[in-house]
Each structure stands twice: as structure tokens, then as C-alpha cells.
Structure 1
């Protein structure tokens, strides 16, 4: 009676420990879910802020671009005015020369100085009629020339005023552009800070998700272990071989199913059962659906052919000759499975070989049934039957 009572107490204690562990796992999962929700809310708020900031940045950049284009227009206008001013000055100088020449021609003098001498002599003359005639011709030439020169001077002043106004506008636009470029620069710095914050939040969110997945995976594996007898510690030991890089497990990319079939055929021929390649293909179909489920499994198996890392240490094959036996690479894993089956008795005894691959009677029957389906699908009467 005492022994039974002690055993009952042990069972109750185990149940209480399991319940406590379940509660702890549930609480941990709830905390992770709450953290994930907070991180998601913070991420959405940051994304909303960066969206609003992006709109402001776009407007500020557009305003800066308009100022820059206006500055370019003003620069071109000032260049045109400078050209006009230079042309105007040259024209005025030519007009002055023509004015002097016209004055000389009016009095048939040889130079402007001779004209001055002629006027002085006429004014000293006692003939008032001659004086008036000379003065009239002189005033007529002087007035016409002066009007032309004054017109040129007015144009020069107008052009000069326009240039000064444009220069002031250009200075104002330069100041405005500097302000807008500083605003754009500050907005871009804020944008980079927000982008960095978003990347950090995304990384934290992904880390939380991964931890939540890991927690759920551990919970599922614990249940599978309880149901199937797998040792969770043994699984961790298997995966530890990968983490310590004793076993190479690098993603090799997704291959189409046709490429898997080609690899099955080639590996079967290489290891002596070419006509029975359907069985090797059936192993790949049952284990991973031709690379669609790469693991790790409840036992820690990995890759398209679901090798345990500890088994891979002695059975791995560098099938593609790249110097690395990668448990995740179909080009390595499929030849390794073919060699493993051959060493376990294939093709002479497929039951023994498949049972060595996975020690379960249902597994052997399922693989052979799939192999027979493949044989029939390909219409190969020279192989099998397998089931």
C-alpha cells in the first residue's frame, strides 16, 4: 500500500509540474504576443510618421526645385541684360562718334576741334547775320545729336535699373533656396532616423515572432515527444551539430520537381539501382515532398532527404563536387540517401534498406506504395512492382 501511495504521489506531482509548465509556457506566449502587438503598433505609428514626413519632404523639395529653376531663369535674364547693356554702350559710343562727325560735316570742318575754332571765329565776327546762321546750324546739329545721345542714356538707365532689380531678386531667391535646402536637409535627416527606427522595430518584431515561433515549436515538439517517445534533448543535440557548424546546413535554393527527378535518376544509377530510381524518388516524396518541407523535424532531421545531423556526419556526400557536403542541398542529400539505401541492402532487399532508413513498418509500406505509383505513372513495366 505504501508503494502504491508513493507512486500515486509521484504521478500527482508530475501532473502538477506539467500543469505548471503549461501555465508558464502559456504566460510566456501571452507576454510575447503582447510585446508583438506593442511592437506592431509602434511600427505602424512610425510608418505613419514617415509617410507624413515624406509628404512634407516632397513639398519642400518641390519648392526648393522651383526656387532653383527661378534662380537659373534670373541668371539667364541677368546675362541677357548684361549683353544688352554692353551693346547699348557700344551703340552710344558709335552715336557720339556720329554726332561729332555730323557736327564737323555741318560746318565742313576737318575735325571737331576745327568746328570749335570756326564757331569762335564766327562769334568774333562783326556780321550778326553770319553769327545767327552759324548758331542756328550748330544748334540744329547739337539738338538732333543730343536727343539721340539722351535716348541711349535713358535706355542704359532703364537697363541698369532692371539689372539691379533682378540682382536683388536673385539674392532673395538665393536666400530662400538656402532656407528651403536646409529644411529639405533636416527633413531628410529625420527621414533617415525614422527609417533606422523602423528597421530596428522590424528587427525586434521579427525577433519576437521568431521567439514566439520557437516557443510554440518547443511546445509542439514536447507534445510530439510525449506522444511518440522522441527525446527533446536528443533533438537539441542533433541541431547543436548544425549550430556548432559540425554539419553544413546552408539553404540551397528551391529546385523544380523535374530537377529532383533528374537527381534521383542519376544518384540511383551511380549507386547501382538505376531502374529502381522510383524508390529513391518515393523516399524524397515521403520525407520532404521533394524539398517543400526541409525541417527540422521533431527528431531534428533536416534537408530534402531528412537526415539526422549525426547520421550525416558519417553518411553525407558531396554530390555536386563543390567541396562541401551540405545536408540541405538536393545535389548532396539525394546521392547520400542512395548510398545509404545501397549500404543497407538495396536493391536486393528494399524492405530492409527502407527500414534502416526509418525504423517504422508504416514508413516502409508508404514509400513502396509511392514508388509503385511513380512506376505506373511513368509506364515502366521493366521495374517493380513495389507494392
Structure 2
């Protein structure tokens, strides 16, 4: 990760929200037969995104649109991040199951401060091991443990409970709701939650840049996500 002191100003307007996601009944996310399955399958080939991943991005956008309407999170932004971070859960041959689990699990390098990476210690893993353990990013959206602990959420939680947790736009939910960063439904919703809290109104250039820069403090990263997200707006 790089750090330049502020979000990049060279990416222009925020990416568009992409093709509209159909209205769905927000009761619970059924990972076996989610209501956005048909919508995702019809667009998967066009965008080169696995239908199961596109389904997760769409659901996260719908949920955040309902719980935090002022955020204006588009599924295209989530898709842009997942494209750069893990090729939509396909990094090194990984695949997304019908339940949303990405296998084999995708893991980043140890963040030990070498090769230009940040130095981030995983306190929980270190306590268990009895020695210093450096954090590694996990899952299709590459969450580090501390960030997941603060923003992770289970997408298949009943909507009444989920909306109560998400509408506050604050980190941390009850432990039983933190979900799994290796599940693309959970990861997409957690990423959206983090972006909304970090950027505010993502339909504005400033808000969008601020959100992506918070996700990874690198001007180059902001430009990469902008390019990827914009490619899904056509």
C-alpha cells in the first residue's frame, strides 16, 4: 500500500451506478436461490463477471440503498474493487460456490513492511501463537483482520436485524453477525458498508474518491478502481 496524504484528484467524476438492479423483497438473503440470480446471469457474459459474484454486488447495493440511501453505492464500484483485488473471486483458480464461499480461500502476502507493503500486526493471531503474526488480507475483497472485525457482516441475516445494524453507518456489529470474508455475499456487503461510512455520498467525485482512498491509501489504486468500475457502466 502507498500513502500520499489525500484522495487522488485525477479520476474525474464518480463511476456511474451501472444497469439498474431490480427491486427485491428484503427479508433474508437466500444464498441457494437469491432473488437476483436471473438478473446476474443475464449480464455475466457481458461484463465478464461470474454470475454468483454479480449477484452479491447487486444485493449489497440494494441493501445499502435501502439502509443508507444517501450513500448512492453502485454495484459497479463493488465490482471494480473485486476485479482489482481478486478477479471477482477467481484469483489463482479459486471459484465461488453456490453458497457464496470462495474456495480455495484467497490470501494476500504477510503485511510485514517489506516490498513496499504496510506493516500490520494481527493482534488476535499473535496472542494465539505467542509471537508476532503479521496480518494477511483475506477473501475476494481482501479484508485485513482488524478491518473485517470492525465492518464484517453476514449477508444472510434477516433484514430487520441487518437494517438495524447497517443504518447506523458505524463499525462493529454483534459477533454473531460478523460473517466470513471468504463469502462473497458477506464481503461485498461489508465492503459497501465501509465505503459508505468512509465517503458519504459516493455519487459525487469527492465522496467516491474519499471512499476508495480509505479502502487503500494509494492514488494508483484509486485510478485502478475507477477504470475497472467505469468499464461496467456501459
Q: TM-score, normalised by structure 1?
A: 0.30
Q: TM-score, normalised by structure 2?
A: 0.49
User: Looking at CA atoms only, which structure, 1 or 2, has the larger radius of gyration?
Assistant: 1
If asked which structure has higher relative contact order (CA below 8 Å, sep 6+), I would say 2
